[in-house]
């Protein structure tokens, strides 16, 4: 009986010890479960962030792909335009080289004034009269011939047009002015429409050409002595021109004809162009005499 009681007590002690161990193990497992839950929650958050990042990467890729495609398309278009422009320049240079070597300036650049006092170069008129059937294409082509002619004259005489640069490209010729700070101002000597009020850009281009023509006279006279200290029959001053030789440009009685189209009468502009072409013709003659051609 005593042994039985002792046995029972021993069993109870063992049971309590086992229960305590189980509770301790349960507590440990609960703690591990909480940690696993927290870890799972963290992993879910990370997964969500990664999914957002993945979506952003996809969106950025799609946007960048579209941008790259547009850039590639623009580059292709620009390459084609550049190739076309280079072809025009190459053709113009070839033409220029041929003209530079020729000795028939008067025939190459035939300047004439008809019975209506309208000036033309190679049959292309510079005129703005209501009773004359003229086109924008004719005017642009005439300016192209003027630019090419003056460019050839500068080259033949080996003189510089600085601060101007003539770029002959047919009916799309331009003239560049570079100021003392080195800033370039590129102006087109061609137009798109005969509007009543012209843009100042076209007028500025005409003014640049007149001053470039006067620059030729100044530089040419450093090499060749000429009467009246000018090779031109008509006097150029800034963007204006007067008929005949003007010894004093400040003389108030001098009648000037503006090269600007804006706010200018058609008859006066047409006369200004005629006087300008006659000066260009005089430059051709002076060059032919100086070069013996």
- Cα torsion through 152, 237, 258, 158, rounded to 10: 0
- Cα torsion through 127, 103, 153, 149, rounded to 10: 30
pLDDT at position 37: 86
pLDDT at position 144: 96
pLDDT tens digits along 203-214: 999 999 999 999
Instruction: Name which of 219, 54, 85, 81 is nearest 150 in CA terms.
Output: 219
Q: Which residues in the chain show pLDDT less than 50? A: 196-197
pLDDT at position 196: 43
CA 179 centroid distance within chain: 18
In CATH terms, the superfamily for domain 102-291 is Autophagy protein 6/Beclin 1 (1.10.418.40)
pLDDT at position 197: 45
Domain ranges in the chain are: 47-98, 102-291
pTM of the model: 0.64
Neighbours of 175 (CB within 10 A): 27
- 256 has which bridge partners? 242
How many angstroms separate the CA atoms of 259 and 5, rounded?
135
pLDDT tens digits along 235-281: 999 999 999 999 999 999 999 999 998 888 999 999 999 999 999 99
How many angstroms separate the CA atoms of 172 and 170, rounded?
5
């Amino acid at each position: 009986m005593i042994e039985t009681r002792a046995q029972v007590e021993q069993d109870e002690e063992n049971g309590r010890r086992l229960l305590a161990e189980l509770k301790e193990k349960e507590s440990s497992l609960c703690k591990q479960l909480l940690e696993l839950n927290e870890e799972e929650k963290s992993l879910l958050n990370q997964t969500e962030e990664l999914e957002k990042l993945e979506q952003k990467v996809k969106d950025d890729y799609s946007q960048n792909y579209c941008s790259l495609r547009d850039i590639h398309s623009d580059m292709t278009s620009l390459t084609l335009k550049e190739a076309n422009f280079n072809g025009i320049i190459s053709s113009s240079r070839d033409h220029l080289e041929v003209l530079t070597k020729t000795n028939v300036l008067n025939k190459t650049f035939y300047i004439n004034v008809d019975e209506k006092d309208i000036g033309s170069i190679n049959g292309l008129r510079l005129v703005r009269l209501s009773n004359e059937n003229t086109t924008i294409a004719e005017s642009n082509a005439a300016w192209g011939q003027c630019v090419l002619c003056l460019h050839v004259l500068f080259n033949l005489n080996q003189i510089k047009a600085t601060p101007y640069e003539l770029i002959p490209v047919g009916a799309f010729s331009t003239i560049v002015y570079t100021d003392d700070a080195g800033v370039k101002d590129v102006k087109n000597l061609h137009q798109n429409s005969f509007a009543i009020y012209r843009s100042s850009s076209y007028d500025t281009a005409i003014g640049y050409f007149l001053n470039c023509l006067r620059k030729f006279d100044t530089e040419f006279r450093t090499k060749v002595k000429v009467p009246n200290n000018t090779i031109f029959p008509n006097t150029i001053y800034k963007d204006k021109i007067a008929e005949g030789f003007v010894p004093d440009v400040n003389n108030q009685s001098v009648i000037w004809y503006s090269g600007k189209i804006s706010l200018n009468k058609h008859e006066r502009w047409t006369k200004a162009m005629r006087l300008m072409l006659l000066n260009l013709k005089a430059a051709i003659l002076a060059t032919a005499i100086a070069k013996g051609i």
